[in-house]
């Protein structure tokens, strides 16, 4: 058939849209979206005609074209940001959105999203409320601090604290604590952005109290400690603890600020986990201001929490950056609900997903791997060899990478032992409507069971059309 006849065999857009197959689509998606998708389908059909000199198999009838348009519109509805199944073994995976939220936090966010809330509206009628009030009161209760405030994330907390308290002046920090957290958060860069001058003291491995006190001059604004959460220096080392440094700073009339990073509000060692510094211990040690993340070990939404002396918090609250870095009602709702869980500590490990995932029992993980492995084997057939094997999970989010938690994985090997076969499987699982994300290593795809709460959902994700 000549090309012109083939083109003519395709319906005009208007005629196509007038047909019964399209009426339903227009009702569901509205006319303009359907028109655009129909044009797009017809363009694709013309391209194929030019290339193959035949009418494409999917464009023979108006019904077929409608099916193509329907599929395109459905794909467009699927959001790019969507749930994934995290089998990487990293519980607080920054690239996968860190902490899984508690049921109470989810309910609070949904309620806040659906309508008006008393965000800055004082229900006692005593005057204009402040959006941080509810969370700040809880943070004071939990940490023993005089005052608190909340910003977008911990990087923002450090930025605003330094901007409000030390712009145009010097901040004394140990050379061993000039950390890079990843994702372009480097302490010296944040200092520069806040307008302060960094006064580095000590050496990479050793910093003494006299290094801090010897660096004080009339331009010094504060002393700062940074928790070196993602690495450790071992061997011939010396650092100055907050408890040691606070009285020295105060003697010289300076505040001491600590950036804790993760900051656990409960003693993780009591759960058999690697100990992490606690904000309340820092306040008790005399630190004037402590910053930490909402979505790391705390297990809440992304937020930066600042607790400490009232006078310093007030300077932060009234800094112009506060408006730019403030949290919205959804974050505050989730954060308040999460913090309330800490008021009933015996039930925390049950209610806070971060803690329940971190404390999952190795025997339970082993049993789960034993259940999932045969299901995956029958799904994959004999091109792959599936097994249950012990592995080690990571806490993630800047926790020490060497601190591993004993866990169990379902591992998948390619029967042909080709890396390519395995990589294709990993890619295919990552491309599913609900992506399944494991970790490649040692010639296997490792699916750590630690963060798998719903085994049926895993099988459904891998088998869904
Ligand atoms: C993670 C971390 C930050 C950044 O916190 P975000 O909440 O990711 O912005 C800052 N300082 C330290 C020490 C950290 O570990």
pLDDT for 84:
97
Q: What is the dihedral of CA 98, 104, 110, 114, to 10 degrees?
A: -140
Q: How far is the CA of 292 from the centre of ligand 1 (A)?
A: 7
Q: Are residues 72 and 91 in the same domain?
A: no
Q: How far is the CA of 244 from the centre of ligand 1 (A)?
A: 24
- Secondary structure class of 150 (helix, strand, coil): strand
pLDDT for 183:
67
Q: Are residues 244 and 264 in the same domain?
A: yes
Q: Are residues 111 and 220 in the same domain?
A: yes
Q: Which domain holds residue 308?
A: 103-346
Residue 240 lies in a domain: yes
The finding on whether 229 has its CB within 6 A of some atom of ligand 1 is: yes
Residue 215 lies in a domain: yes
Strands (E), 107-188: 147-151, 170-174
Q: Are residues 418 and 341 in the same domain?
A: no
The residue whose CA has the least distance to atom 1 of ligand 1 is 261
Tokens of 441: 């290593």
The residue whose CA has the least distance to atom 8 of ligand 1 is 154
The finding on whether 305 has its CB within 6 A of some atom of ligand 1 is: no
Q: Are residues 422 and 334 in the same domain?
A: no
Q: Are residues 291 and 401 in the same domain?
A: no
pLDDT for 127:
63
Residue 352 lies in a domain: no
Atom of ligand 1 nearest to the CA of 230: 15
Residue 206 lies in a domain: yes
Residue 351 lies in a domain: no
Q: Which residue has the tokens 């499987």?
A: 425
Nearest to 92 by CA among 411, 397, 424, 419: 397
Count of domains forming the chain:
3
Q: Are residues 330 and 388 in the same domain?
A: no
C-alpha triplet 22, 23, 24: angle, nearest 5°: 90
| 371-397 core/surface letters (b: 16 or more CB in 10 A; e: else) | ebbebbbeebeeebebebeebebbbbb
Nearest to 355 by CA among 262, 229, 227, 447: 262
Cβ proximity of 242 and 218 under 8 Å: no
The finding on whether 395 has its CB within 6 A of some atom of ligand 1 is: no
Q: How far is the CA of 262 from the centre of ligand 1 (A)?
A: 7
Residue 282 lies in a domain: yes
Strands (E), 194-255: 197-201, 220-226
The residue whose CA has the least distance to atom 13 of ligand 1 is 261
List the chain residues with pLDDT less than 50.
none
Tokens of 377: 């084997």
Residue 37 lies in a domain: yes
Q: How far is the CA of 154 from the centre of ligand 1 (A)?
A: 5
Q: Which of 298, 323, 346 is the last residue of a domain?
A: 346
29-to-69, 70, 73, 340 alpha-carbon distances in Å: 11, 9, 8, 42
pLDDT for 216:
98
Q: Are residues 67 and 159 in the same domain?
A: no
Please give the Cα distance from 386 to 389 (Å, whole number).
10
Contacts of 11 (CB under 8 A, 6+ apart): 19, 62, 65
β-strand pairing of 444-448 with 404-414: antiparallel
Atom of ligand 1 nearest to the CA of 158: 10
Q: Are residues 280 and 429 in the same domain?
A: no
Q: Which of 313, 346, 379 is the last residue of a domain?
A: 346
Q: How far is the CA of 378 from the centre of ligand 1 (A)?
A: 43
Q: Which residue has the tokens 């870095």?
A: 325
| 66-86 core/surface letters (b: 16 or more CB in 10 A; e: else) | bebbbebbeeeeeeeeeebbb
* Angle, in degrees to the nearest 10, between helices 154-166 and 310-317: 100
Q: Are residues 157 and 262 in the same domain?
A: yes
Laid out side by side, the sheet with 147-151 consists of: 147-151, 304-308, 289-293, 256-261, 220-226, 170-174, 197-201
Give the CATH number for residue 247. 3.40.640.10
Q: Which residue has the tokens 């029992």?
A: 361
pLDDT for 228:
86
Cβ proximity of 346 and 184 under 8 Å: no
Pocket test for ligand 1, best of 261, 264, 298, 301 (most atoms within 8 A of CB): 261
Please give the Cα distance from 71 to 207 (Å, whole number).
63
Give the CATH number for residue 379. 3.90.1150.180
pLDDT for 401:
67
Torsion 242-248-250-256 (CA) sign: negative
Q: Which of 296, 320, 346 is the last residue of a domain?
A: 346
Q: What is the dihedral of CA 13, 19, 21, 26, to 10 degrees?
A: 70
pLDDT digits (tens, 9 = 90+) for 164-190: 999 999 999 999 998 887 667 888 999
Q: Are residues 342 and 381 in the same domain?
A: no
Q: How far is the CA of 250 from the centre of ligand 1 (A)?
A: 26
pLDDT for 143:
98
Q: How far is the CA of 187 from the centre of ligand 1 (A)?
A: 10
Q: How far is the CA of 440 from the centre of ligand 1 (A)?
A: 27
Pocket test for ligand 1, best of 94, 156, 181, 403 (most atoms within 8 A of CB): 181
Tokens of 284: 């008790």
The number of helices, as runs of H, and strands, as runs of E, in the chain is 20, 14
Please give the Cα distance from 140 to 156 (Å, whole number).
20
Pocket test for ligand 1, best of 160, 185, 189, 231 (most atoms within 8 A of CB): 185
Strands (E), 34-130: 85-86, 90-92
Residue 61 lies in a domain: yes
The total of other beta-carbon atoms located within 10 Å of residue 148's CB is 26
Q: Are residues 233 and 296 in the same domain?
A: yes
């Amino acid at each position: 058939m000549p090309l012109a006849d083939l083109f003519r065999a395709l319906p005009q857009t208007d005629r196509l849209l007038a047909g019964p197959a399209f009426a339903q689509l227009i009702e569901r998606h509205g006319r303009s979206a359907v028109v655009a998708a129909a044009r797009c389908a017809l363009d694709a059909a013309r391209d194929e005609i030019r290339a193959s000199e035949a009418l494409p198999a999917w464009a023979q009838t108006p019904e077929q074209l409608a099916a193509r348009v329907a599929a395109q519109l459905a794909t467009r509805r699927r959001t790019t940001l969507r749930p994934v199944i995290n089998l990487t073994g990293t519980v607080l995976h920054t690239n996968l959105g860190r902490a899984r939220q508690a049921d109470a936090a989810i309910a609070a966010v949904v309620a806040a999203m659906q309508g008006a809330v008393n965000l800055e509206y004082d229900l006692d009628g005593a005057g204009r409320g402040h959006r941080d009030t509810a969370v700040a009161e809880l943070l004071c209760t939990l940490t023993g601090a005089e005052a608190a405030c909340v910003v977008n994330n911990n990087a923002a907390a450090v930025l605003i604290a330094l901007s409000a308290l030390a712009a145009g002046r010097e901040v004394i920090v140990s050379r061993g604590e000039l950390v890079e957290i990843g994702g372009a958060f480097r302490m010296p860069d944040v200092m520069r952005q806040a307008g302060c001058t960094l006064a580095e003291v000590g050496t990479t491995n050793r910093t003494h109290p006299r290094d801090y006190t010897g660096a004080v001059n009339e331009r010094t604004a504060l002393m700062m400690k940074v928790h070196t959460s993602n690495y450790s220096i071992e061997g011939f080392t010396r650092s100055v603890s907050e408890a040691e440094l606070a009285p020295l700073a105060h003697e010289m009339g300076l505040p001491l600020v600590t950036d804790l990073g993760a900051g656990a509000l409960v003693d993780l060692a009591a759960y058999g986990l690697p100990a992490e510094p606690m904000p309340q211990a820092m306040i008790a040690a005399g630190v004037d201001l402590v910053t930490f993340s909402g979505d790391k070990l705390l297990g809440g939404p992304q937020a930066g929490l600042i607790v400490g002396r009232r006078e310093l918090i007030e300077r932060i609250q009234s800094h112009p950056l506060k408006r730019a870095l403030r949290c919205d009602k959804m974050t505050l709702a989730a954060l308040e609900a999460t913090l309330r869980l800490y008021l009933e500590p015996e039930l925390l490990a049950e209610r806070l997903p971060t803690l329940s995932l971190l404390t999952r029992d190795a025997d339970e993980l082993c049993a789960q791997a034993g259940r999932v492995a045969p299901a995956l084997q029958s799904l994959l057939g004999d091109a792959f060899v599936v097994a249950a094997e012990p592995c080690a999970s990571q806490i993630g989010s800047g926790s020490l990478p060497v601190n591993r938690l004993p866990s169990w994985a379902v591992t998948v090997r390619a029967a042909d032992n080709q890396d390519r076969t395995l990589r294709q499987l990993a890619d295919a699982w990552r491309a599913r409507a609900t992506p399944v994300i494991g970790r490649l290593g040692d010639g296997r795809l490792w699916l750590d069971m630690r963060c798998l709460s719903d085994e049926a959902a895993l099988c459904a994700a891998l088998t869904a059309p």
